[in-house]
Amino acid sequence: MSRQAQRPSPSGAVRRTAFAAALALAAALAVPAAASAAPPAPAAPPVQDPPAKQPVATGYGGAVSTVDPDASRAALEILKRGGNAMDAAVAAGATLGVTEPYVSAIGGGGYMTYYSAKDRKVYALDGREFGPASMKEDYFIDPETGKPLSFNDAVTSGLSVGVPGTLAQWDLALHRFGTRGLGALLQPAIKVAEHGFVVDQEFYDQTATNEARFRDIVPTRELFLPGGKPPAVGSVFKNPDLANTYRRLAEHGIGWLYRGELGKEIVRTVTKPPVDPKATRVVRPGVLKTSDLAAYKALPKQPTHVSYRGYDVYGEPPSSSGGSTVGEALNILGNFRLDPRDPVTALHYYLEASKLAYADRGAYVGDPAKVKVPLDELLSQGFARERACLIKPDQAAAAPVPPGSPDGQYQPCVPSGTQTRVLAAEGPQTTHLVVADKWGNVASYTVTIEQFGGSALTVPGRGFLLNNELTDFSFAPSAPGGLPDPNLPGPHKRPRSSIAPTIVLKDGRPKLALGTPGGSTIITTVLQILVDRLDLGMDLPTALAAPRATQRNTPQVFAEQAFIDKYGKALAARGHRLEVFPGPPAGVIGAATGLEFLAPGLVQAVAEPVRRGGGSALVVRPARP
């Protein structure tokens, strides 16, 4: 989520002023004369412009890119005070919990990759939520009908809430790589929560989208529908409850959630959702226990790694499918020459490689603590060559295509099969940030509560929403005779994700870092940006702004309208069926952030110029133009 990229035009302001004056005059004419003696109504709060954003910043001493100016400023403040990239990433993440509460909160989780300049190594940190100990494969089966719950019935419920992983991930990250304590890093976010931020169109729209379900949950309505409606664009939104929650966390540490009173309050909210008694919505209770919170651990992981065109590309390993699927697709593409003079052919190969990698993702990737994931084989060159031989240069394969066999026994080509799996639902509303510091450390971090507004359950008096990450599990087993599903619910199991925080090295040094929100489109957005930057010769700002398409082993290629306008006819001639991406938000794929090292010490931070209101890129010391 992000705030509006541009200020309202002066002409728009004049029109709004004139419109307001006309309404006031009409209202005055409609009031009886006797009412003229009544005291005047209180003045409406002043309307302010959202803060300006810049999508590209180049300079020295450190850089940050997020979707939000307040979060970017929080990170920059930490960098200027001598904090490192990990410190700044946590400070930005905490601030996003204030300004982007529908996608980022301590009630959620996330994934991070981190380059340590001291070790010259990339690390991965898994802060994905997991399910309660009593979770079974039939968790989302309605006992009355024997059929899976609808997504809408499952999401706004206690059933959808997994154990939050964000605070445990911050704690692990800071202990391993940080130089500041959590309490100090929460201070910028506390200030924003207390003083408020200016509501932009994006925040208003996301509130309005959730208005019906927010209205049915009492603490959510009280917090996010002040006066009974979404906060107006230009108004100032404050969250004193979250400011106090952050203060308590600064004082007591994360044990307050995982083993203390805040954890009890979360469990109470999940098992007895605070629903308005007048609401007709069925909000099912969850089965979370305090013992589930106490059992949770954020996990240090070995990142995925593939070599591509002389670059080393590192990503997030399972339980996310981001690193494995991006890596497999790059390995497949490595078998072809992608010519910037022929972007249509390059995009054809990109779409076909994505199709094949998604088939394997669905068949083999899940929580490696609960299912066997053949990660080494999925990322092997032999498997990539076997898959690449299925791609025809002039004809798209009919989707869905079957998964391959990552068994170590690879042939030049394999015959087509019949087994595949429908693409599972995965909420596209997350947020990504990147940070680099003056020492050369780099953080690539995606944080999420799943979809806009998560489960819609706000912990009473605490100022934050709880996630709906458990709806990322498959709701029902595979059909008889099909491959076993690695993503079925299970006790303390992490649902599969597509989150793909990515770091690219050249000659052992950081070159690129990037990531994006977008649910299962995250993988294709990261992959397309890498292809645009490394194969098609675009600079990073152009690669982030370029129109996008996503092929996730579906019959259609979903794309932004600008992509269809530019490439649709030529790709359709090769058999691709292009349709406008349905969203949400409709017609928009991802909202990426990235950075690139242009020279020693010189970093370019890049955010979206337009998508979802644009993003905010800042550097410590701007380079001279």
- 458 three-state secondary structure: strand
Would you mind telling me the total number of residues written for the chain in this entry? 625
Q: Are 333 and 349 a contacting pair, CB within 8 Å?
A: yes
Tokens of 243: 């400011």
Amino acid symbol at 185: L
Q: What share of the chain is helix, strand, coil (3-state, %, to 5)?
A: 35, 20, 45
Amino acid symbol at 128: R
**DSSP-assigned states of every residue in 316-345:** PPTTBSHHHHHHHHHHHHTTS---TT-HHH
Buried b (16+ CB within 10 A) or exposed e, 30-49: eeeeeeeeeeeeeeeeebee
Element containing residue 124 per DSSP (H, E) = strand 121-127
* 430 counts as catalytic: yes
Look at residues 363, 352, 418, 346 and name the one whose alpha carbon lies nearest to residue 388: 352
Spell out the long-range contacts of 51-55 with Cβ–Cβ below 8 A and sequence spacing 24 or more: 51/3, 51/198, 52/7, 53/3, 53/5, 53/607, 53/614, 53/615, 53/616, 54/616, 54/617, 54/618, 55/5, 55/541, 55/606, 55/607, 55/608, 55/609, 55/614, 55/615, 55/616, 55/617
CA distance 574 to 588: 24
Tokens of 242: 């979250």
CA distance 308 to 529: 14
CA distance 104 to 157: 18
- Residues facing 320 on adjacent strands: 497
CA distance 263 to 246: 14
Residues whose CB is less than 8 angstroms from the CB of residue 26 and which lie 6 or more positions away in sequence, other chains included: none
Amino acid symbol at 432: H
- Residues facing 115 on adjacent strands: 122, 442
My answer on whether omega of the bond before 585 falls inside 30° of 0, hence cis, is yes
CA distance 223 to 461: 9
CA distance 280 to 263: 28
User: How far does the chain reach from its first CA to its final CA, in angstroms?
Assistant: 30
CA distance 573 to 595: 35
Q: Which residue in 430, 471, 502, 550 is the catalytic one? A: 430
Residues whose CB is less than 8 angstroms from the CB of residue 130 and which lie 6 or more positions away in sequence, other chains included: 162, 163, 165, 292, 296, 367, 492, 493, 494
Residue indicated by tokens 């020279």: 599
Orientation angle between helical segments 240-252 and 187-195, nearest 10 degrees: 160
Catalytic residues: 430
